[in-house]
Every structure is written in C-alpha cells, then in structure tokens.
Amino acid sequence: MKMQINEFAKLTGVSVRTLHYYDEIGLLKPAFVDNQNGYRFYDEDSLERMQEILFYREFDFELKSILQILSSPDYDKQKALAEQRNLLVLKKERLERIIDALDDAGKGNVIMTAFDNNEYETARKQYETEAKQRWGETDAYKEHTEKTAGYTKDKWQQVNDGLNAVLAKFAECMDNGHSADSPEAQVLVKELQTHITENYYTCTNEILAGLGQMYVADERFKTNIDKHASGTAEFISQAIKTYCN
C-alpha cells in the first residue's frame, strides 16, 4: 500500500501541516520521497508508527518524549501496548462513572465522586515517568540527539543512504551463499557498527546485540530491511549474534 500525504492525513485524522512537522523533527518520516517532484509517500509501516504516536498523544505525552521513546534501541512495543491498555481501562471506568452520574442527576441525585480522576492521573504520570526512564533517557539517545542536532536534510539523506548501502551489502552477501557466521558477514557487521557509531551514537556490542534482535522482532524494521532481499533481516540478526558472542 502506498499513499500520498493527503490520503495519509485523511486516513489518520492528522493534518498535512502536522505530518510535515513530524517529518521535520524525525518523529514520522515518509516511507520515501519522490526525488523528481518531492511528493511524500507513506505505507503500512507509516500507519503502524502513526498509531503508536497517537496512543502516546492520547496520554498527553510531549512529542519530544514520544520521539525519545520510539527511537530507543530497547523499545518494547508489546509491553508499551499492554501498559497503555491498562491506562485506557482506567479512563473508560471513569467515563462510565460519569455516565452513571448523569443518569442519577436526571433523577435528582448528586454524585460528585464520579469526577474523581486521581487514580487515572496517578497511573498516567507513573507510566510516563517509567517509559521515559526505560526507553527515553538512554545515553545512546542523548548522544544521538547531540550528534544529529546540526544535521541538514541533505546530511540526513547521506547518512541514511549510507546505512541502506550497508544493509544492501548484507543482502548481497547472503545471496552469494555466505553464511551469517562467515568472515564476509562478520566484516559487514563491523561496518554496520562503525556507521552507526560515526553517524548516530556509540554502538557498543550490547546495543548492537539489541539492534540485531529488534531487526527481526519489530515488523517495521524487518519489512524495511527485507526490501533489499527476503530474509536479510534474519541474516543480519544472526550475523550480529555471532559477532557479539
């Protein structure tokens, strides 16, 4: 599925201006941009990313915090969804109490306890604090923010093209019949680690191992990497596992 920005905006209920801003701050970049006319296009992975953003916006998270959380190499989507569901249940229970209070008000009864929102607010603030601590305030992210602060659009294009070039080499290595633990694949792992360190943040072996797991566990990353060749994400994941062990 491929959507132009107007179609994507209509589907998600987010304005085109907002999408431009999300692109500018790196929160949600288009799946690709047509180099000839500059048109932005979005896909299924974009929809999934937008859904995650909207979930956090539902709980009044700042955009900066959402970017920090979603950019973390350790981000656990399933855990986040489970915790967000618990918050929404609390929100739903409060709304049900208010509806009941409205019904009682029609009968002449006054019930003020329905408006008590302390339980939800306490849980929401606790979740926001824990989410930031767990995913949003890592040393890697702080370094990433500082290192990329001055990146222009052209610089970002150059850096991301360089990353894609390394991923394409993995696909070629796999297609040439080399195994994930082969010397050829291990050289590429080192090249990937170096590229990340030089352009994003210091990629320790621990962080690299986490990235290797994320490449296959997160469908968004897996789909993007496998565009080079089916099975590339799994190949890179196994190569990284060998390298880090």
The pLDDT of 93-103, averaged and rounded, is 84
- What CATH code is carried by the domain that includes residue 223? 1.10.490.50
Enumerate residues 6+ apart whose C-beta is below 8 A from 104.
Answer: 110, 111
- Does residue 236 lie within any of the structural domains? yes
pLDDT at position 160 is 86
pLDDT at position 100 is 84
pLDDT at position 73 is 66
pLDDT at position 90 is 82
Q: Give which of 99, 30, 27 is closest to 56, Cα–Cα.
A: 27
What predicted TM-score, i.e. pTM, was given to this entire model? 0.51
Long-range CB pairs of 227-234, under 8 A, 24+ apart, other chains included: 228/164, 228/167, 228/168, 228/170, 228/171, 229/171, 229/174, 229/175, 231/174, 232/167, 232/170, 232/171, 232/174
The answer on pLDDT for 135 being more than 60 is: no
β partners of residue 37? none
50 and 87 part of one domain: no
pLDDT at position 237 is 93
pLDDT at position 138 is 63
Q: How confident is the model at residue 64 (pLDDT cuts 50, 70, 90)?
A: confident
Structure tokens, 43:
């896909």
pLDDT at position 99 is 86
The answer on pLDDT for 115 being more than 70 is: no
Radius of gyration of the chain (CA): 22
Q: What is the sign, positive or negative, of the torsion defined by CA atoms of 18, 23, 37, 11?
A: negative
Q: How confident is the model at residue 95 (pLDDT cuts 50, 70, 90)?
A: confident
The answer on pLDDT for 141 being more than 80 is: no
Considering the chain, what is the average pLDDT of its residues? 84
- Per-residue buried b or exposed e for 148-159, using 16+ beta carbons within 10 Å of the residue's own CB: eeeeeeeeeeeb
Domain boundary among 109, 136, 163: 136
pLDDT at position 85 is 85
d(CA 112, CA 124): 22
β partners of residue 42? 3
- Does residue 65 lie within any of the structural domains? no
Residue ranges making up the domain that contains 226: 141-244
- Does residue 67 lie within any of the structural domains? no
198 and 116 part of one domain: no
Looking at this protein, which amino acid is placed at residue 109? N
- Per-residue buried b or exposed e for 95-106, using 16+ beta carbons within 10 Å of the residue's own CB: eeeeeebeeeee
240 and 145 part of one domain: yes
The pLDDT of 1-20, averaged and rounded, is 91
